[in-house]
Structure 1
Amino acid sequence: MTFTYTVSPKDWLGIAPIVVLVVMALVLMLVDLVLPHAGERSKHTGPANFTVLPAVGLLGVLGAMAAAVTLFFVDHPTSVFNNMLGADAGTLYADLIILAAGGLGILLSPAYLKRLKLVHQGEYYALLLLSMTGMLLMAGALSFLIVFVGLEMFSLALYILCSFIDKRQTSQESGMKYFLLSSFASAFLLYGIALIYAATGHTSFVDVQKFVVAQAHGHAPILLLVGLGLLTVGFAFKVSAVPFQAWTPDVYQGAPAPVTAFMSIGTKVAALLAFMRVFGFALSSVQSSWMPVVWAIAVLTVILGNLMALGQSNVKRLLAYSSIAHGGYLLIGVVVSGAAQQNHIGASAVLFYLTCYLFMNIGAFGVVSLLERIDNTGSDLSDLRGLWYRRPLLAGLLAFFLLSLAGFPPMAGFAAKYYLFYAALVGGHPELLIIGVVASVLGIYYYLRFIATMFMEGREGSHASSTHAAFERIPATPRPTRAPTGSLTRAASSTRGATAVAEKPASTKIAASPLPATAEIEPTHELEGWSWVALGIAALGTLVTGVILPFWLPQLQQAAQSLLK
């Protein structure tokens, strides 16, 4: 048996965003090579690196977004490369969410990299673009093979990005944990694909759907059921669903904050689009076989994600458990997409929720990226005490994004949850509506706890606050001062200067840091403009999706009938 397929120009047109990203990733690495590098380290830390490289990366993202928007208005096939990749409206919409997350992640990076003296910036931005490419592949996959290729492509890039801060132990630990646990999840996914192919003889979603409709008659064969079980493990891991969520808090806390902001959105979009296509569409005829399992995972994720967030004292870990809970809400849409096939309301609710979640979650992590210090401190509850009195704009923005994540109107979180819970009610799952509302009320507590700490609590006394501020202004070569026994010796023995971070403001001990002391105190105001642009876009997007778009929800619901075909 022979197979011949000729690639046409329309095939390349359908994957134009992916082509633009790959080309710009290569261009970015070439630009990194030709930047001036008079010394051994100036190649990576020269002034041009902190502006030219992110500009090239951002240009690639904007070009890919322009290509995706253009495809909405030009005649092109809805599936390309022999029905292996989708180019329909739903796929292009998901592409825009992933690209927006990547673009905002790039905007948050220059000031962060400058402050932490991170080298190899060309590789950093190239890996961001390549991870976006993998996510676009997985989000548009119409074949199990492309699902696996996209998954591995963005996972390999994220392994390196999570451990990019080579002198921070928590960053190395997060990269290793993500690599080990994600490898197991990928193995489950691959075995599941192999068993589904053994049961059906196909890897294309359309062919699998035809086989199941013709052969299963509402009951999946045993081999197919086992394959679906293994497939569920792989997808649930990427969505951070219970009981496969253990990696999320440690990875989110140790990874660089801009990387965490990007991956918290991108991985969910890619995994959920593949999840919905496989379960909500390709295998909708045997929903009685998989629906109880996905329903249970969604309920456990919503409840336990909110419960585990109650005792957190670090804002990055709080946002990690919040991400787990929001993954559970999104799985409600997957359940509905299988039960309400006549109008695809579940798919439209998931896409709208992801749009809202994009802005409010990246905004919260963006504030954290400006607060985070060299030694991964700055985001604990104790560090946030009295933030309103020290940096009122950052405190106000963080409170704004946390309130949106909690679901307060008129911000994006309220509109997203309202539409998702409405979809659950219309889709025949009122119990998911009740569970979601109760869990959302429970989640309000831990968001308000951090907000109250920033606005209503001082920083352990005024003397402690002044001491902390003095340490932040400490010069690169400290002068000997009176201190308890041993403190002067430690300060004098440091030939590179003292670090800008104090372990406890009440103590005069200065924490040692493997990075140069000037990395914390070196001014980055000229680069923080990039971060403020990202925060402004996130805040504006949170308001627009929460105030303006809800008026268009009925039209969005009708338009969603053609999504994800």
Structure 2
Amino acid sequence: MTFNYSVSPDDWLGIAPIVVLVVMALVVMLVDLVLPHEGQRSKHSGPANFTVLPAVTFLGILAAMAAAIVLFFVQHRAAVFNQMVGADNGTLYADLLVLSAGGLGILLSPAYLKRLRLVHQGEYYALMLLAMTGMMLMASALSFLIVFVGLEMFSLALYILCSFIEQRQMSQESGMKYFLLSSFASAFLLYGIALIYAASGRTSFVDVQQFVLKQGGHAPILLLVGLGLLTVGFAFKVSAVPFQTWTPDVYQGAPAPVTAFMSIGTKVAALLAFVRVFGFVLSSVQNDWLPIIWTLAVLTVLAGNLMAISQSNIKRMLAYSSVAHGGYLLIGIVISGQAQQNHIGASAILFYLTCYLFMNIGAFGVISMLERSDNSGYDLADLRGLWYRRPVLAGMLAFFLLALAGFPPMAGFAGKYYLFYSALVGGHPELLVIGVIASVLGIYYYLRFIAVMFMEGRDTPRVGTIPTTSGKIPTTPRTRVSGSLSRPLPSSRGGTAVAEKPATARVADLPVPAAAVIENENTHELEGWSWLALIIAGLGTLLVGVILPFWLPQLQQAAQSLLK
């Protein structure tokens, strides 16, 4: 058996957005080499890095978006590189979603990195670009091998980004947990791909689809086992129950801009591969896998909303909210399994991801501006009375939380409406009823945080407080913060002025993170980047919720051209 294949210009044209991102990742690392550095090159980055590097990175993302938009209007092949990578309209749309999430994450990063004095700026932005590349590659995969390559590419980048804050133990833990659990899930996915290849002798989606069609409506046992293992890998990335345990810890410990980006990008990549495999390749044997995906969708919707109710940390609440939204998206997978409704389910998923993109990144964007360097500042107690201290941020956070809850006329309502409508049209009214009940249940935990910000804590916190990982401890006027340690000043009576905890420990005995003492550092010149991201997210939340719903019938009719 011989195999001859040569790459043509059409192949490179089909993956033009991916090529642009890879080139810009190399450019960012080269620019980081020539920028001025303070002190030792390996440990300290110069002040120019906080503006030049994100600007270059953002320009690269805009260039990749321009390439994707041009491909919508330029005639090109729908599948390239020997039918292994897709370049159809659905893939290009997914590319725009990943690039939008990455671009907003980049805009949120400069002020955040400056406030925490995080070094190695070039590595951070290069890893963000490479993570986007892997997500886009997985979303465009037309072969199980490309699925695994894309998955590993963005996972390796996210492992490092989650643990990027060296001085924060929780960040290190989140990176390690994500690495261990994600590697475990990747092993399941790889073993599932191996069993599918053993059963069919092919790895291409088209070839496997033809093999399944010849089975007369029922897949062989070996193929079913492979699909079961494959489902574990996909469900892990979507944060479906019972594979969601990593989500709250990783979301809480990772840098807020990284959390905002990965909460969208991983879902786009995994769900596009999910819907291609189950909604198109395996639609002829839907009776074999539909009950499992149906059960996963229902459990994820209900469990995600129930677990979010008891959370007093808004990052963990949004993590469980992300689990619930992953369950809503799995409803689209169930609908895509219907032989006559697969395109309706796929288009509902893409539209819901568009809505979720703006409102979820907007919520995490506000958190990134509130988050202190010791990973505090966004607990329920910290948000109490935020309206009286920072009314603009409180208003924007309430706006995005209401959108996530599904209040009209914002994007959350439009996304759920279209998804539930597809469930009704696809012959699953029970999923519509379950989704509506879960959405009503989810309103409570969103409104809980809004009520705390607006209706409680009119008094501002005392000035003499030291942020710690366990809360805020009042200090006496003779206690000061200098360097990275809290040192008591000598009293005129020969004693030591310290503040006592309700227990026996003293402030001087408590561990204060080194980065917790730079909260007052002047980062106003970089906050414009974050405000730009919040404005874009706010406008997107409104526009997607108000304007696009009028196009829903047209979107449904045009869904036939989204994925091929």
TM bracket (short chain): over 0.9
CA-CA distance at 1:266 after TM superposition: 0.1
1:490 aligns with 2:487: yes
CA contact (8 A) 2:144 2:203 kept: yes
Q: One-letter code of the match for 1:230? A: L
The 3-state SS of whatever aligns with 1:490 is: strand
Check 1:517–1:184 CA distance in 2 against 1; reply closer, same or farther (3 A cut): closer
TM-score by structure 1 length?
0.93
Hey, what does 1:348 align to over in structure 2? 347
1:296 aligns with 2:295: yes
In the aligned structure 1, how far is the partner of 2:520 from the partner of 2:281?
Answer: 55
Hey, what does 2:443 align to over in structure 1? 444
CA-CA distance at 1:457 after TM superposition: 0.4
1:225 aligns with 2:220: no
CA contact (8 A) 2:256 2:367 kept: yes
CA-CA distance at 1:205 after TM superposition: 0.3
Percentage identity across paired residues of the two chains: 79
Q: One-letter code of the match for 1:467? A: R
The 3-state SS of whatever aligns with 2:271 is: helix
* 1:36-62 CA-partner distances (Å, limit 9, x unpaired): 125216974321000000011101111
CA contact (8 A) 1:192 1:231 kept: yes
Hey, what does 2:89 align to over in structure 1? 89
Aligned pairs for 1:123-272 within 5 A: 123-214=123-214, 216-272=215-271
Q: How many correspondences in the alignment?
A: 541
Aligned pairs for 1:549-564 within 5 A: 549-564=548-563
In the aligned structure 2, how far is the partner of 1:363 from the partner of 1:514?
Answer: 28
CA contact (8 A) 1:384 1:453 kept: yes
CA contact (8 A) 1:483 1:508 kept: no
CA-CA distance at 1:17 after TM superposition: 0.2
1:37 aligns with 2:37: yes
CA contact (8 A) 2:99 2:132 kept: yes
CA-CA distance at 1:509 after TM superposition: 4.1
Hey, what does 2:395 align to over in structure 1? 396
In the aligned structure 2, how far is the partner of 1:137 from the partner of 1:227?
Answer: 22
CA contact (8 A) 2:38 2:44 kept: no
Hey, what does 1:331 align to over in structure 2? 330
Q: One-letter code of the match for 2:120? A: H
Q: One-letter code of the match for 2:105? A: G
The 3-state SS of whatever aligns with 1:51 is: helix
Check 1:203–1:518 CA distance in 2 against 1; reply closer, same or farther (3 A cut): same
CA contact (8 A) 1:188 1:231 kept: yes
Q: One-letter code of the match for 1:60? A: G
Hey, what does 1:499 align to over in structure 2? none
CA contact (8 A) 1:138 1:274 kept: yes
CA-CA distance at 1:516 after TM superposition: 4.6
Aligned pairs for 1:441-480 within 5 A: 441-458=440-457, 462=459, 465-468=460-463
The 3-state SS of whatever aligns with 1:326 is: helix
CA contact (8 A) 1:44 1:121 kept: no
Hey, what does 1:408 align to over in structure 2? 407
CA contact (8 A) 1:262 1:362 kept: yes
Q: How big is the alpha-carbon RMSD for the aligned residues of Structure 1 and Structure 2?
A: 2.1
1:54 aligns with 2:54: yes
* 1:115-148 CA-partner distances (Å, limit 9, x unpaired): 0010001000000000000000000000000000
Q: One-letter code of the match for 1:228? A: L
CA contact (8 A) 1:191 1:227 kept: yes
Q: One-letter code of the match for 1:491? A: P
In the aligned structure 2, how far is the partner of 1:517 from the partner of 1:342?
Answer: 53
The 3-state SS of whatever aligns with 1:167 is: coil
CA-CA distance at 1:521 after TM superposition: 1.3
Hey, what does 1:370 align to over in structure 2? 369
* 1:522-555 CA-partner distances (Å, limit 9, x unpaired): 0110001000000000000000000000000111
Q: One-letter code of the match for 1:358? A: L
Q: One-letter code of the match for 1:288? A: N
Hey, what does 1:65 align to over in structure 2? 65
Hey, what does 2:319 align to over in structure 1? 320
In the aligned structure 2, how far is the partner of 1:503 from the partner of 1:11?
Answer: 65
Check 1:189–1:454 CA distance in 2 against 1; reply closer, same or farther (3 A cut): same
Q: One-letter code of the match for 1:134? A: G
Check 1:17–1:303 CA distance in 2 against 1; reply closer, same or farther (3 A cut): same
Hey, what does 1:23 align to over in structure 2? 23
The answer for unaligned runs of 5 or more in structure 1 is 473-478, 494-501
CA contact (8 A) 1:90 1:564 kept: yes
The 3-state SS of whatever aligns with 2:457 is: coil
* 1:428-458 CA-partner distances (Å, limit 9, x unpaired): 0000000000000000000000000000001
1:277 aligns with 2:272: no
The 3-state SS of whatever aligns with 1:83 is: coil
Check 1:9–1:299 CA distance in 2 against 1; reply closer, same or farther (3 A cut): same
Q: One-letter code of the match for 2:462? A: T
CA-CA distance at 1:171 after TM superposition: 0.2
In the aligned structure 1, how far is the partner of 2:289 from the partner of 2:486?
Answer: 65
CA-CA distance at 1:6 after TM superposition: 1.1
Q: One-letter code of the match for 1:515? A: A
* 1:214-251 CA-partner distances (Å, limit 9, x unpaired): 1x111110000000000000000000000000000000
1:361 aligns with 2:360: yes
